[in-house]
Amino acid sequence: MTSPSRDINDLFDDIVLTEEKEARLGYEEGLKDGQEQGNEEGYKLGYAQGVSLGEELGNILGQVVAQQQLKHTDKVRRSLEHLRSLIEEFPRTNDPQADIVGAVQDIRSSHRRLRALLGSKKTPGAATSEPPSVEHKDYSF
Q: What integer is the mean pLDDT of 23-33?
A: 87
The predicted pLDDT at position 66 comes to 92
| Full 3-state SS string of the chain | CCCCCCCHHHHHHHHHHHHHHHHHHHHHHHHHHHHHHHHHHHHHHHHHHHHHHHHHHHHHHHHHHHHHCCCCCHHHHHHHHHHHHHHHCCCCCCCCCCCHHHHHHHHHHHHHHHHHHHCCCCCCCCCCCCCCCCCCCCCCC
Residue 57, CA distances (Å) to 19, 43, 53, 124 in order:
55, 21, 6, 11
Q: What integer is the mean pLDDT of 14-25?
A: 81
Q: What integer is the mean pLDDT of 90-114?
A: 89
The predicted pLDDT at position 128 comes to 46
Quick check: 132 pLDDT over 80? no
| Percent of the chain's residues with pLDDT above 90 | 28
| Full 3-state SS string of 125-139 | CCCCCCCCCCCCCCC
Check if the beta carbon of residue 96 is closer than 8 Å to that of residue 70: no
Quick check: 2 pLDDT over 50? no
- Of the pLDDT bands very low, low, confident and very high (cuts 50, 70, 90), residue 129 is very low
Check if the beta carbon of residue 64 is closer than 8 Å to that of residue 80: yes
Closest CA to 115 of 84, 89, 76, 71: 76
- Of the pLDDT bands very low, low, confident and very high (cuts 50, 70, 90), residue 126 is very low
Domain ranges within the chain, ordered by starting residue: 12-118
Mean pLDDT over all residues of the chain?
81
